[in-house]
Amino acid sequence: MKNLSLLLFLSIFGTSVYAQSNESLDLEKAIQLGLENNLQIKMAVETVTLREGDEKIGSGDLFMPRVDATYLRSFSKEDVEQKFLNDPEPRMINDARSRNENFSVAAIYGFRPESFVIMKRLGQLTEISELETKVVVENTVAGISSAYYRLVLELQRYEVLKTTLELSQSRLDIAKAQYELGGAGKRDFLTAQVDYNSDLTMLLTQDQVIQNARVNLNELMALDPGSSFTVKDTILIGDPLYLMDLEENAFTDNKDLLIAQRAENVAFLQMKELRISRLPVLNLNGNYVNNTSNSDAGFLIQNQRQGFNGGGNITINLFNGLTLNRRIQNARVQEKIQSYATDQLGIQLKSDIHRSYNTYLTNKNLLEVEKKNYETAKESTDIALERFRLGISSYLEFRDAQVNLLTAQNRLITSIFNIKEQEIELRRLSGKIFFENSLESFELTSED
């Protein structure tokens, strides 16, 4: 990375002393905690597991036969009266018993021509789920990075306000001494006191801003809102980004665009699936039967059957009220809609990259201006303070120089933060958010 940072401020203001604990937290560790703890990522990973399960279920339903085993056993006890042709006298059998035992195994296999297309469609849906999870991960990384640097920015603003308060304290001490010695009126002293109180109020307000920035970062890392840590007090600007590279990476790696492309393919496969469903369906069946019947009445006292049988049929739909034709037409329209959506997303993606890149370049140009402006304001404030100490300038002149320095300091650190924020956004849009943070090896795995 380019060594362009806020080290200039550190040499002037010293390192941040706002932190409430000695535990250090750098950006890489913050991202690691977020990826491990963020509940949205965990839910997205489990959704991928569900999609993979649906794909396996579909594979079993489409390509595996169905086998059912049935066992039946029944008993009866009845009074039977029988008459036969060769014996006119009725035959009475009381408490005649009959027993029936049946065991069968039936296997059914139906081959649908569209089965392979269905499996491809289920595979595409699984890929979409995986890409959606990666979108959540990338957004989490971008959010943590932005929140981390926002906290650093607010801590730097705190140091700026603290230095401003020190200048106001110096001015108040001078005004008080001059008033007590009779060299200045009470009004100058009271004005210095009011300005000091105003600067103290801004410092205390900034303390609240920092606390909220910590809470926001803790939320993204799924930590307790009260967790405290020290952070690095510099913002390093990365290597220059180039528009052509960003666009090229975006159209190959942007996960939202990849999701839209997969969705377009799913729409195509759905239409193809409906078309293939016009083809004949082959059904095969086989059975194994073991049946035993016993009876105390009738000519047949025992009947036992055992063996295999099988068969098959071919079915083709001849007419279903034109429903299939309408479904194919709707699928064709859906494919066209998804194609338009993909093209629109590509246009939007390219526009977003151009907008962010324009802001990125503008802030980089402003940075050099703000650095020079800060140096000028710093020198002007030093001169104004010395003139005020010697009593050859008014408090208004010193206050103006002090306000100008505060404004220049804030604009400089804000400019650096804005550049970093645009870097994060451009890397997210181009699908390279992990590149900066060396997290390319992140894998999507669900808990056992």
Smallest CA-to-CA distance from 262 within 414, 121, 113 is with 121
Calculate helix-pair angle for 39-63, 115-180, nearest 10 degrees: 180
Mean pLDDT of 363-374: 90
Q: 140-149, 212-221, 261-270, 383-392: lowest mean pLDDT where? A: 383-392
pLDDT higher than 60, residue 332: yes
Q: How far out from the chain centre does Cα 106 lie? A: 47
444 is a domain residue: no
pTM higher than 0.85: no
Instruction: Give percent above pLDDT 70 in the chain.
Output: 87
CA distance 371 to 8: 10
pLDDT higher than 80, residue 303: no
pLDDT of the residue at 246: 93
Q: What is the mean pLDDT of the chain?
A: 82
- Confidence category of residue 189, pLDDT binned at 50, 70, 90: confident
Mean pLDDT of 296-324: 79
| CATH code for the domain of 428 | 1.20.1600.10
Tens-digit pLDDT profile for residues 28-70: 888 888 888 888 888 888 888 888 887 778 776 777 888 888 8
Mean pLDDT of 70-99: 76
Phi, psi of 72 (to 5 degrees): -130, 135
Mean pLDDT of 403-422: 90
pLDDT of the residue at 184: 59
290 is a domain residue: no
Between these two residues, 238 and 336, which has the higher pLDDT value? 336
Give how far Cα 163 sits from Cα of 13, 14, 16, 154, 167, Å: 7, 10, 12, 14, 6
Place of tokens 């006119």: 88
Domain range for 201 is 7-65+131-279+322-437
pLDDT of the residue at 306: 84
Q: How many domains does the chain have?
A: 1
Place of tokens 């300091």: 409
Dig out the tokens for 296 from the structure: 């105390």
Residues 6+ apart with CB under 8 A from 123: 55
CA distance 170 to 113: 87
123 is a domain residue: no
251 is a domain residue: yes
Mean pLDDT of 300-316: 81
Place of tokens 């890929």: 127
Mean pLDDT of 147-175: 87
pLDDT higher than 80, residue 424: yes
Highest averaged pLDDT of the listed ranges 12-26, 372-386, 395-409, 415-429? 415-429
Please, are residues 317 and 310 in contact by the beta-carbon 8 Å criterion?
no
Highest averaged pLDDT of the listed ranges 34-43, 54-63, 173-182, 214-223? 214-223
Between these two residues, 78 and 164, which has the higher pLDDT value? 164
pLDDT of the residue at 15: 34
Residue 69 neighbours by CB distance under 10 Å: 10
pLDDT of the residue at 257: 94
Radius of gyration of the chain (CA): 40
Q: 60-74, 231-245, 326-340, 360-374: lowest mean pLDDT where? A: 60-74
311 is a domain residue: no
Give how far Cα 258 sits from Cα of 122, 195, 196, 350, 420, Å: 16, 56, 56, 14, 26
Residues 6+ apart with CB under 8 A from 256: 135, 345, 349
Tens-digit pLDDT profile for residues 135-155: 999 999 999 999 999 999 999
